[in-house]
Amino acid sequence: MAHSGISVLFEGTNFMRLLGGLWVTVKIAAVALIFGIILGIILGVLRTFKNRPLRVVLRLYLEFFRVVPTVVLLFLFYYILPRQMNFNLPADQLATLVFVLWVGAEMSDIVRGALISVPRHQIESGKAIGLNRFQLYRYVLIPQSLTLEIPATINLATRVIKTTSILLLISVMDVINIGQQIIEANNHTYPTGVFWVYGLIFLFYFLIDYPLSWWAKRLEKRRLEKANG
């Protein structure tokens, strides 16, 4: 075996294809996070209302998406729903939809938790100066809850990015799927190629996720410093 496995990465268009796969991964995660966070903020605010049926429905929604594993959700939306109700979407759009709903559910809990932990006197002061409910949320609760939400949200973002690796199960051409194609295509010529391909994928995920988690840590630290003087 004169040739080393690393050359498998640079043969033909392999490297470009891996980057293309990474783009699919990043795109799905980014779109899912943007829309999921918006949805989560709306749902989170609604969950602090004192309306019973509304809270029950939202709670059920949250528990459903939190308890059911993402793999099962993907299979449910990709294979079972189309069979039952003629609901058909291409795999990557469907993956984005499932992730938006999932992020929305997780985010709603983060937002709710942050909103109810804003000190009570802040709300009362707001009421005292005659703010209505919308103004109370707009000027008092939401701005103050943001700093509490950010680290947990970034944490959620890194989880979403990592979870995209299961998308290959519903045939999304993400970076893992392309990696496997390359490994299998070169199994006979480069038996050690598997190490290099997965090594590169590891590096890709690390380069995306590590700055995020570093940023989360820094924000958290800064918040604590601020809070404790």
Give the Cα separation of 176 and 173 in Å (integer). 8
Among 23, 34, 88, 139, binds other proteins (CB under 8 A): 88
Give the nearer residue to other proteins in terms of CB position, either 59 or 159. 59
The residues in 30-49 that bind other proteins, with binding defined as CB under 8 A, are: 49
Spatial separation of the C-alpha atoms in residues 192 and 183, rounded to whole Å: 9
- Joined together, the tokens standing for residue 201 give 């994928």
Looking at the Cβ atoms of 14 and 145, the one nearer to other proteins is: 14
Asked if 68 is part of the footprint of other proteins (rule: CB under 8 A), the reply reads no
Instruction: State how far the Cα of 100 lies from the Cα of 33, in Å rounded to an integer.
Output: 7
Number of H helices and E strands in the chain, helices first, is 10, 0
Shortest reach from residue 78's CB to other proteins, in Å: 7
SS3 at position 131: coil
Residue 98 beta carbon to other proteins: minimum distance, rounded to whole angstroms: 15
CB of 188 to other proteins, least distance (A): 5
Among the listed ranges 23-31, 110-118, 168-176, 217-225, the one in contact with other proteins (CB under 8 A) is 168-176
Using the 8-state DSSP alphabet, how is residue 192 labeled?
Answer: T
Q: Which two tokens stand for residue 169?
A: 């199960």
One residue of 11, 38, 97, 159 binding other proteins per CB under 8 A: 11
Please report whether residue 2 would count as binding other proteins according to CB under 8 A: no
Residue 111 belongs to what H/E stretch?
Answer: helix 91-116
- On the 0-12 / 13-18 / 19+ scale of CB atoms within 10 A, 115 is buried
In the complex, minimum distance from the CB of residue 27 to other proteins, in angstroms, rounded to a whole number: 18
Number of residues counted as binding other proteins (CB under 8 A) = 34
Helices 91-116 + 52-67 axis angle, to 10: 130
Residues forming contacts to other proteins in the complex (CB under 8 A) are: 11-14, 16-17, 49, 51, 53-54, 57, 78-80, 82-86, 88, 169-171, 173, 177, 180-188
